[in-house]
Structure 1
Amino acid sequence: MSHLSEHDPLHEALQQYPTPFYYYNGDQLAAHIQSFQQMLHPKVQLHYALKANNNIAIAGLLREWGCHIEIASLGELRLAEAAGYLPEEIIYTGPGKSEKELRTAMAHQIYCINIESLAELETIHQIATEYDRKVQIGIRVNPDGAGIGGSSIQMAGVARPFGIDESQLEQVFERAAEMPYIQVIGIQVYAGTQIMDAEVLLSNFRYTLSLAAQLQARYPVQLDIVNLGGGFGVPYFSHEHPLDMEYVMQQLTSLIDEYSVHLPHSSFIIESGRYLLAAAGIYVCQAQYTKVSKGEHFVIVDGGMHHHAGATFRGRRPRNNYPIEIIPRHHIIDAEQTQITSIVGPLCTPDDCLFKNVELPVIHAGDYICILQSGAYGLTYSPIQFLGHATPAEVLYYKGKSYLIREQGAPEDLLLRQQNIIPSTEWTAVP
């Protein structure tokens, strides 16, 4: 269990905002991102993976701090533009982009669309021909070599819907060369996410740079961008240790210098979402009840899987607990008095378990449960409509002031965009 300082502005937020809510420390976030950027090679541009957290205020701050953005839906495109990102700062990726999505991305003249199949390339060219406008594309590559991967969630190197197999690239480059409205400007390789081993990351980066150099030499294209992906791991569990990011970036700088001889016109992209945001966010909920069932002690809280699926054990291996902080409401915590406890949410499913058999100080109704490392893949990753509970607020502390950057939802939100075909008494909100 970590320890939040009693001077942390979160304590003030607890007095202002009803639980559950997400809390982000913008000062911590700014320092972290600026430190990361200072480690980057001058030819590297940092792209924010919006899927990690789609709050417009956070996305806007990241742009102010020099990030470009990677999107994967029209909703994310709209949000990126509303957050201030220019078309030349946006890359669109994803394996199932519809014709409507592609048309909109082209109409908005975003910098690059990453293709993930030959069929998608054909669709893009058909639309570009109609528009009489050249489109810049990147090719997401699924490598064939054994030197790629090594992540807890592997995205490449094995059969995946993501990217085009390396063995199929010749067909793609030859077909693209026949298309007058297609301009191949780069490649992307995203090996996996939550990689905790520095040498695995560096091996993946070397593989991508080597592949880019080979493609540049073999085909009549100019690779303006080489997207190295990211996948930087974040320590959630007690057995995990932080990446030595300074070492990783030093070695990557050497690799880029080495391969720049073969890629003289290329700039490089690092994508990140989890690594940028996780540590700056906390999910806060409140103990409602305690109970004992067949000898096991439970604390039931007002938040859960519907707000923070990442903290539950659904589909996760190993099944460990996130870091946690307990803030008492009406009593002083006795660190010597502990209890083996499971903390569960209000949903009618056994999946709604935030902490399983964790040793904690005795928790009382009203105490605050703070789930750390929650800045990324929290609300965006969660089944927010399940059982119709209101969505949580989001609060950002930045430069001495707290901002409500997403209002708490309301019960009637569940009715949004729904239409009843049977006449009934009009539903009215209870005050």
Structure 2
Amino acid sequence: MGQVSISDVAEHYGTPCYVYSKQAILDVYQAYSDSFASLDHQICYAVKANSNLAVLGVLAQAGAGFDIVSRGELMRVLAAGGHADRIVFSGVGKTYDDIEFALNQGIGCFNVESISELALINDVAQQLGKRAPISLRVNPDVDAGTHPYISTGLKDNKFGIAHDKAVGVYEQAAMMDNIDIVGIDCHIGSQLTEVAPFVAALDKLIELIGALRDKGINLRHIDLGGGLGVRYIDESPVTIDKFAQALLPKLQALGLKVFFEPGRSMVANAGVLITRVDVLKPTEHKNFAIVDAAMNDLIRPALYQAEMAVIPETLPSDDTGTDAGNEAMTWDVVGAICETGDFLAKDRVLTLAVGDILAITGAGAYGFTMSSNYNSRGRASEVMIAGTQHQLIRKRETIEDLYRDEMLWQD
């Protein structure tokens, strides 16, 4: 990665360890910005994909905005040097304290997901003597054609306000003294590989924008959310450039500022999870490579049935598939957690020896952020690489860290 050997990173920082390329992150950000350069636009990185302060800081310095879903994410962005007025606050469960804190920081926009939330934002803003900038997150009932757990734009999903109710809710918002209507928003899902669902969602938003103009409600921006997919194994996602080409004519005709909220596509393939083979356990029915990472470090394979590539430290040295006397075999790469669902990859042809380093690719998004301490396992360290340099950006958790804030019962 860059000019740094991943094996050297493993030796220096230990395993398991998440490793990110600073340049790869910046390259994708620039690709989004360049593709929509003909429009007034703001690329708001979706913090939930990877919230490490170093990642956020690199993007903040590049001029990115941010999409957040919690007060914790807002505080992370601010700590990393991000500006509140370039942040959109999404999420279905904003509390009074969340809204109060965000308003006091000068939040750029709340993406409102319900009438109840709209009323709460108005009440909080009134208490503070402020006007709250809002857009409604509209649920356009568009099938993103992705995994049901990461599909967010159907009428069965918990997100957003139904398309046929949106104009009425905007009219309610327009009558609230402490609400400033600034935009319209939608997000139909994650890991979309085709542009057609985005176009369908945009058409529905354009319809609403016209209806709102007829009622004297004029917006300043349109937010198309995120969700552009990446290649993990053999997917063929639409490129950022082709994604932009499909949307630009309609967006240019609108004359509004355009927001996007990419997350996975910004960081997934900028990162790997490196892990070491601890035990090789061939059996009559299955061959298991037991590694020091596990589902607590990377839950995507177990939760989403995600397939992520596995690159071994040493590739076979000839066409026979052998290296140093080891034979290529079909392995399930698994962790040491007491769950049959604890696997990182299945049925992979690899030439392995105990002690080998493996890199799980595509791990820069929804890897560390979804990790846990299940089985009382400390979370992995994180490292960033730029050119020939590598830096620790999160320390590995120790066992003592896991119970430092716990207390024994006192009789």
Common fold, TM-score beyond 0.5?
yes
Aligned partners of 1:9, 1:66: CA distance in 2, in Å?
30
Q: Is the 8 A contact 1:274 1:377 kept in 2?
A: yes
Q: Which residue of 1 aligns with 2:233?
A: 237
Aligned equivalent of 1:309 = 299
Q: How does 1:161-176 map to 2 (within 5 A)?
A: 161-176=158-173
- CA distance 1:358–1:154, shift in 2 (3 Å): same
Q: Is the 8 A contact 1:154 1:191 kept in 2?
A: yes
Distance 1:64 1:352 in 2: 38
| TM-score (norm. length: structure 2) | 0.92
**Could you tell me which residue of structure 1 aligns to residue 404 of structure 2?**
416
Are residues 1:102 and 2:99 paired? yes
Q: Which residue of 1 aligns with 2:395?
A: 407
| Structure 2 residue 243 is matched with structure 1 residue 248 | yes
**Offset of residue 258 of structure 1:** 2.4
Structure 2, unaligned runs of 5 or more: none
Distance 1:219 1:413, change over 3 A: farther
1:263 equivalent in structure 2? none
Note the alpha carbon deviations across 1:365-414, whole angstroms, 9 max, x for none.
100111011111101123x1211111111000014311100011100111
CA distance, structure 1, for counterparts of residue 215 and residue 296 of structure 2: 48
Moved more, 98-107 or 276-285: 98-107
- Amino acid in the other structure paired with 1:165: A
Instruction: Give distance in 2, aligned partners of 1:186 and 1:74.
Output: 21
Partner of 2:328: 338
Give the CA deviation at 1:176. 1.4
Distance 2:133 2:31 in 1: 32
Deviation at 1:328, TM superposition (A): 3.9
In 1, the alpha carbon distance for the partners of 2:355 and 2:391 equals 24
- 1:376 maps to 365
RMSD across aligned positions (CA): 2.1
**Residue in structure 1 matching 2:73, options 55, 60, 76:** 76
SS of aligned partner of 1:193: coil
Letter in 2 for 1:324: V
**Structure 1 residue 294, shift from structure 2 partner:** 4.0
| SS of alignment partner, residue 313 of structure 1 | helix
Deviation (angstroms), 1:8 = 4.6
Question: Any idea what SS the aligned residue of 1:192 has?
Answer: coil
Q: What is aligned with 1:11? A: 7
User: Residue 309 of structure 2: which of 323, 327, 341 is its match?
Assistant: 323
Three-state SS of the structure 2 residue aligned to 1:348 is: coil
Deviations 1:334-360 (A, max 9, x none): 734420111101111111111112222
Distance in structure 2 (CA, Å) of the matches to 1:398 and 1:138: 37
* 1:187-266 equivalences in 2 (<5 Å): 187-215=184-212, 217-238=213-234, 240-260=235-255, 266=256
Residue in structure 2 matched with residue 427 of structure 1 by the alignment: none
Cα deviation, 1:215-253, whole Å, max 9, x if unaligned, reads 2x2333331111011210112133x11323212212222
Question: In the alignment, is residue 130 of structure 1 matched against residue 127 of structure 2?
Answer: yes
Q: Deviations over 1:77-115 (max 9, x none)?
A: 110100111121111110011122112112222111111
Q: Deviations over 1:260-303 (max 9, x none)?
A: 2xxxxx21101101001111100001000111344311110001
Task: Find the aligned partners of 2:145 and 2:114 in 1 and give their Cα distance.
Answer: 24
- The Cα offsets for residues 130-160 of structure 1, whole Å up to 9 and x where unpaired, read as 112111111111125xx55333332113222
* Residue 386, structure 1, aligned to residue 383, structure 2: no
1:386 is paired with a residue whose SS is coil
Q: Please say if 1:349 is aligned against 2:339.
A: yes
Out of 266, 287, 292, the position equivalent to 1:276 is 266
Do the aligned residues in 1 keep the contact of 2:43 with 2:259 (CA within 8 Å)?
yes
* From 350, 353, 356, the counterpart of 1:364: 353
What is the aligned partner in structure 2 of residue 398 from structure 1? 386
1:133 and 1:181 in contact (8 A); partners too: yes
Equivalent position SS for 1:209: helix
CA spacing shift, 1:37–1:174, aligned 2, 3 Å: closer
Paired amino acid for 1:375: G
Aligned to 2:25: 29
**Are the equivalent residues in 2 in contact too, given 1:148–1:204 (CA < 8 A)?**
no
Q: Deviation digits for residues 21-46 of structure 1, max 9, x if unmatched? A: 00011122222322332111432211
CA distance in 2, matches of 1:380, 1:320: 16
> Which whole-Å CA distance do the structure 1 matches of 2:188 and 2:223 have between them?
11
Mapped partners of 2:167, 2:241: distance in 1: 37
Please state whether the residue corresponding to 2:287 is helix, strand or coil: strand
Task: For 1:305, give the aligned amino acid.
Answer: M
Q: 1:416 to 1:210 in 2, by over 3 A?
A: farther
Contact 2:267–2:364 (Cα < 8 Å) also in 1: yes
Report the alpha carbon displacement of residue 332 of structure 1 after superposing the two structures with TM.
6.4
What displacement does 1:14 show?
Answer: 2.4
Q: Which moved more, 1:331-340 or 1:274-283?
A: 331-340
The question of whether the paired residues in 1 share the 8 Å contact of 2:10 and 2:17 is answered with: no
CA contact (8 A) 2:334 2:345 kept: yes
Q: CA deviation at 1:191?
A: 1.1
Q: Judge which range, 243-252 or 65-74, deviates more.
A: 243-252
Distance 1:137 1:297 in 2: 54
What is aligned with 1:57?
Answer: 54
Instruction: Give the TM-score of the pair, scaled to structure 1.
Output: 0.88
**For the residues of structure 1 that align with 2:203 and 2:386, how far apart are their CA atoms?**
38
Contact (CA 8 Å) 1:149, 1:204: kept in 2 or not? no
Deviation (angstroms), 1:72: 0.8
Q: Distance in 1 between matches of 2:29 and 2:243?
A: 15
Contact 2:133 2:179 in 1 (8 A): yes
Q: Give the partner amino acid of 1:230.
A: G
Contact 2:71 2:98 in 1 (8 A): yes
